[in-house]
Amino acid sequence: MYQADVAIVGAGIVGLALARALKDTPLSVVVLDSSPITKPLSEQPELRVSAINAANQAVLQDLGVWSELDSERLSCYRQMQVWDQDSFGRIEFSSEEMGTSELGHIIENQSLVNALYSQVSAQQNVQVLAATQISKVLSGQAETMLMLDNDDVVSCRLLVGADGANSAIRKYGKFPLTFKDYEHTAIVATIHTEQPHAHIARQVFTPDGPLALLPLSDPHLCSIVWSQNRERADALLGLSNNDFANALRVAIDGDVGGITVQSARMHFPLTMRYARQWLSDGLVIIGDAAHTIHPLAGQGANLGLQDAFALAECLSDLCAAQTAFYEARHLRPFERARKAEAMKMIAAMEGFKQLFAGNNRLKKLIRGVGMCTADAIPGVKQRFITQAMGW
Backbone angles phi, psi at 24, to 5 degrees: -100, 15
Instruction: Give residue 301's pLDDT.
Output: 93
In a domain, 51, yes or no: no
Do residue 275 and residue 347 come from a single domain? yes
CA–CA distance, 316 with 210 (Å, rounded to integer): 40
Count CA atoms within 13 Å of residue 325 on its CB side.
25
Do residue 193 and residue 242 come from a single domain? yes
In a domain, 291, yes or no: yes
Do residue 344 and residue 372 come from a single domain? no
- Of 331 and 389, the structure prediction assigns the larger pLDDT to 331
Reported as a single tens digit per residue, the pLDDT across 357-386 is 666 665 555 555 555 555 555 654 455 556
Instruction: Give residue 98's pLDDT.
Output: 74
- Of 294 and 30, the structure prediction assigns the larger pLDDT to 30
Instruction: Give residue 381's pLDDT.
Output: 47
Do residue 230 and residue 195 come from a single domain? yes
- 162-166, 179-183, 233-237, 310-314: segment of lowest average pLDDT: 179-183
Do residue 262 and residue 164 come from a single domain? no
In a domain, 378, yes or no: yes
In a domain, 53, yes or no: no
Q: Is the pLDDT of residue 262 over 80?
A: yes
Backbone angles phi, psi at 229, to 5 degrees: -60, 160
Which residues constitute the domain of residue 301? 2-39+109-179+271-351
Q: Is the pLDDT of residue 285 over 90?
A: yes
Instruction: Give residue 322's pLDDT.
Output: 95
What are 310's strand-pairing partners?
Answer: none
> pTM for this structure?
0.92
Do residue 149 and residue 129 come from a single domain? yes
Do residue 237 and residue 119 come from a single domain? no
Q: What is the total count of domains within the chain? A: 2
CA–CA distance, 216 with 355 (Å, rounded to integer): 29
Average pLDDT, stretch 115-140? 95
Instruction: Give residue 367's pLDDT.
Output: 57
In single-letter form, the type of residue at position 272 comes to M
CA–CA distance, 114 with 92 (Å, rounded to integer): 33
Strand residue runs (E) in 46-89: 49-53, 74-77, 79-84
Instruction: Summarize the chain as % helix, strand, coil (round to 5).
Output: 40, 30, 30
Q: Is the pLDDT of residue 274 over 50?
A: yes
Q: Is the pLDDT of residue 3 over 80?
A: yes
Do residue 96 and residue 207 come from a single domain? yes
In a domain, 50, yes or no: no
Using pLDDT thresholds of 50, 70 and 90, give the confidence band for residue 320: very high
